[in-house]
């Protein structure tokens, strides 16, 4: 199982209006950062990744440190779990495949 980490700054711009007085990191931002971290860890910058499933379990707040754990099987399926202080906040599955090269 491989790991990556992301820290969302206290002043993250996505949290400013999401929600006033009770800021959270939007799920789309969390999922995007997770996919980017996994692609970088797999050295798959030139890969096309498709999210197959994602379940948001708890909110992520500005200032949180997110630990991303993931594994890839023989078919290229990637399972991942994101946690803050040991508490799962996002679980899911995605697949990455290499982009075709231009001829």
Catalytic residues: 18
Residues paired with 80 in a beta bridge: 70, 92
Residue 41 near residue 93, CB atoms below 8 Å: no
Residue with tokens 């379990």: 57
Query: What kind and span of H or E run contains 15?
Result: none
């Amino acid at each position: 199982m491989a790991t990556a980490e992301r820290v969302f700054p206290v002043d993250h711009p996505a949290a400013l209006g999401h929600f006033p007085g009770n800021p959270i990191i939007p799920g789309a931002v969390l999922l995007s950062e997770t996919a980017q971290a996994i692609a970088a860890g797999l050295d798959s910058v030139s890969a096309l990744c498709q999210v197959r499933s994602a379940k948001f379990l708890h909110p992520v707040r500005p200032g949180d440190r997110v630990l991303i754990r993931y594994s890839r099987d023989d078919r290229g399926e990637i399972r991942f779990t994101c946690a803050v202080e040991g508490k799962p906040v996002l679980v899911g599955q995605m697949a990455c495949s290499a982009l075709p090269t231009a001829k």
